[in-house]
């Protein structure tokens, strides 16, 4: 068996390998020309006294995930955490979904986030499976 030498394609090596296929660890590679980095955003808390679930409440993951999806819920929880720490973060991918559902409000590079996740509204409840809908209503009544 032959040893591959950096810089060219070794066809006699098994399997054939190109030595320039991956950069060495720790090296910086240029982005492709069409790549647009996500901008940094700042978060601020608003509507602090609104009713809702604590972010760590299992109901947030169980019911809101069924409505908006796990990625959007993860982005929401990341935004809430950033509000508490005051750090900036890259613009979340699901920011549009969160704004559509009324979970956040956007003002340029500032995102307004509630410290508590609101209760599901009637429109959101209708999108849940009937068993989940009944379970959520029992949770709020109990």
Summarize pLDDT for 10-34 with one digit per residue, the tens.
Answer: 566 666 556 565 667 777 777 788 8
- The whole domain housing 53 covers 40-141
50 neighbors 116 (Cβ within 8 angstroms): yes
CB atoms within 10 A of CB 84: 12
User: Is position 99 within any domain?
Assistant: yes
Rounded CA separation 114/63 (Å):
18
User: Is position 48 within any domain?
Assistant: yes
The total number of structural domains that make up the chain: 1
pTM above 0.85, yes or no: no
Rounded CA separation 95/111 (Å):
9
Determine the length of the chain: 142
Regions of the chain where pLDDT drops below 50: 1, 4-5
CB atoms within 10 A of CB 60: 19
Rounded CA separation 136/126 (Å):
11
């Amino acid at each position: 068996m032959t040893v591959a030498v950096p810089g060219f394609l070794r066809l006699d090596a098994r399997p054939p390998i190109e030595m320039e296929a991956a950069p060495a660890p720790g090296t910086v590679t240029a982005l492709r020309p069409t790549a647009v980095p996500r901008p940094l955003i700042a978060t601020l808390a608003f509507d602090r006294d609104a009713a809702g679930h604590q972010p760590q409440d299992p109901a947030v993951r169980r019911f809101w995930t069924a409505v908006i999806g796990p990625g959007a819920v993860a982005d929401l929880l990341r935004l809430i955490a950033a509000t508490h720490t005051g750090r900036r973060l890259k613009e979340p991918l699901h920011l549009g979904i969160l704004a559509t559902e009324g979970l956040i409000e956007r003002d340029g590079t500032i995102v307004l986030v509630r410290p508590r996740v609101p209760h599901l509204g009637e429109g959101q409840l209708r999108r849940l499976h009937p068993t989940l809908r009944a379970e959520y209503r029992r949770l709020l009544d109990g």
